[in-house]
Structure 1
Amino acid sequence: MLSLPLTATLATAGVCVDRWLGEPGTAHPLVGFGKLAMRIEARLNTGRHGRLFGILAWALAVLPPVLIAVWLVTVLPFMLTCAVHVLLLWFALGARSLNDHIAPIARALAQHDLAEARRLTALIVSRETAHADESALARAAVESALENGNDAIFGALFWFAVGGGPGALAFRLANTLDAMWGYRTPRYLRFGWAAARIDDVLNWIPARLTAASYALLGDTRTAWRCWREQAPRWDSPNAGPVMASGAGSLNVLLGGAAVYHGTIEARPTLGAGQAAGTAHIDAALRLVERTVILWLALLIVLALMSVPFHG
């Protein structure tokens, strides 16, 4: 287990590498992991022994790379071990990618290019955007920024603090399988049960720390109220607190009706204040950025407090 000072140093380095390099497109190892997961699912998701085979598939996809990561940070020399921890955190983080995907939506809406905004939004959400208006697109972008702030950044940082690079890797892979298999459709309802439940467990603490951070860095009173009153209505036990708190913090209304796979879903309203607009997309990205700084600052403070003082 890493010491607090080393954890803070390596976490800061990982965030800096992510800011510098971002995700290397098709060369990203996660692309290869996704292809492996698709092959495993095609082989095991036969409709028989759904939950059992879903657990087996999750273990086959996640455990080998995590165990290899644990072995590497155990046997390598100290400096190489530190490099592996940083690289694994960089692999697990998606802060720059989040900004790179969402900020262009705000720019397209600011230029009144609705067609481009719809195209860009469709790349990051599963809802249909072909006929979405400006407010619906802004709402989708803000929701994605807030929720993926937890999934792509703060969950990885939390598990890095707990288990170093292998911890961050395990979280990212589990979160990826939830995104691939965790749907309540006939194909995945039983097979994807394990992926969805494991992600819920791994995300439970990070989601609430993220929600608390969002609340502290905006309209705190409204954020706490929205979290308390609105989050329980949301289907996801982790996305609800994160998005309700974030929406309250930003004084923006989220949720509401959206079209998924040709069907209109009436989702609960989250937040308070104005309907989502272009300015709220930029505000959500700034809130995520401030939260990254807050988490790193807290890690550094805890690291300094753990160092013995010799007066």
Structure 2
Amino acid sequence: MSSFIESLYANGALLTLWGALLFHLLIPIPPAAHPVRFWQLLLSHIANKVNSPSASPQQQQLSGTLALLLLLIPTLAVLIALQTLVWKAEFYQLALLLLAIEWRGNELFTRRFINALAKEDKPGARQLLASKVNRETDALSLLGLGKAGAESVIVGYARNVIGVIFWYGLAGGIGALIYRLCAELARSWSPNKPGYATFGKPAAWLFMVIDFVPQKLFSMMVLLGLPANTIKQTLSQAKAWPNSATNWLICGYANRFELALGGPAIYGSDKLQRARVGGKIAPAAFHIAQIQKHIAWRIYVWLMLQSAVMFIIYQGL
């Protein structure tokens, strides 16, 4: 027993993971003071400077690629350089993971959104949703709010918790933070936003590449235990979903709870036609609460599995 405790103590990466989770859940960083907020403002400022709607598609894509590299390469270089200067590497990794993860923020959003939807408070629900999505929310009905809210809750947990933890296990705190910054890049410069159709493609492509594996692995946990015909229907519907990283996840939850997700989404003045997936039940507050509970348990299982894998790997090293 004592040798196991000594091994656990020696495994700094694993202790850092659980320490960061504990700090994050007990003492979360206020959203207004979170450094990611300043990253979002920087992204908006740079896009306003270099994204010219009058430029040719080739010029816009080149601008998007150069702006992406200009942001990420110096950021990565600084994070690596700082790692050699810190007094205790574990504290540095813990700080980076704290900046990257957003579990508590997703819980707070989901709880407030469920309350607003349950009270049929459409203005309140629209305002909450507008802080999480790029699509227009001002004209959404209760049905539209339920659909968009369910999708936002699913993707929010999958990226801000699962994706961050996955990349922490793979590349430490630097990997986790770079993943989170890329997620913000892809959202701020989303090709679905008016004027970003070409400029935002490099950021969207990069994030889809680094998001693909964690989302597919988490999707398998969501699909586990479903009947074979439901899994077959999920995989069939996923082929029509626009995002190949999260398609199994969205369609998996839609079919698990027989919810009607997808459908048209308005971005600015443009109407994006998306596939309709899942069943025929209109998502309401009760269903979003079900989704949150299901995701929470899957996150706990993921943490246990990843902790076990990290423990075995680091012991081997």
Alignment of 1:122-271 (within 5 A): 122-184=130-192, 187-216=195-224, 219=226, 221=228, 224-271=231-278
- Contact kept, 8 Å, 1:139 with 1:276, in 2: the verdict is yes
2:41 to 35, 56, 59: 35
CA distance in 2, matches of 1:16, 1:222: 40
CA distance in 1, matches of 2:75, 2:160: 19
Aligned to 1:70: 80
CA distance in 1, matches of 2:315, 2:81: 31
- Contact kept, 8 Å, 1:69 with 1:165, in 2: the verdict is no
| 1:8 to 1:25, Cα distance in 2 relative to 1, 3 A | same
Aligned to 2:96: 88
2:71 to 47, 61, 76: 61
Greater Cα shift, 123-132 or 60-69: 123-132
**Structure 2 gap segments, 5+ residues each:** 1-8
Task: For 1:73, give the aligned amino acid.
Answer: Q
**SS class of match (1:267):** coil
TM-score by length of 1: 0.87
**SS class of match (1:59):** helix
Question: How big is each residue's C-alpha offset from its partner over 1:110-150, in whole Å with a ceiling of 9 and x where there is no partner?
Answer: 23333322332333233333343323212211110111222
Aligned to 2:6: none
- Contact kept, 8 Å, 1:72 with 1:81, in 2: the verdict is no
Percent identity reads: 25
The Cα of 1:257 is off from its aligned counterpart by 3.2
The Cα of 1:51 is off from its aligned counterpart by 2.1
1:296 to 290, 303, 308: 303
- Contact kept, 8 Å, 1:234 with 1:240, in 2: the verdict is yes
**SS class of match (2:239):** helix
The Cα of 1:255 is off from its aligned counterpart by 1.1
TM-score by length of 2: 0.86
The Cα of 1:287 is off from its aligned counterpart by 2.2
Aligned to 1:114: 122
CA-based RMSD: 2.5
**SS class of match (1:130):** coil
**SS class of match (1:275):** coil
CA distance in 2, matches of 1:151, 1:135: 24
Question: How big is each residue's C-alpha offset from its partner over 1:231-281, in whole Å with a ceiling of 9 and x where there is no partner?
Answer: 110111112122112222333221123433345444212223522111111
Q: How many residues align?
A: 304
Aligned to 2:32: 26
- Contact kept, 8 Å, 1:4 with 1:303, in 2: the verdict is no
- Contact kept, 8 Å, 1:4 with 1:302, in 2: the verdict is no
Aligned to 1:15: 21
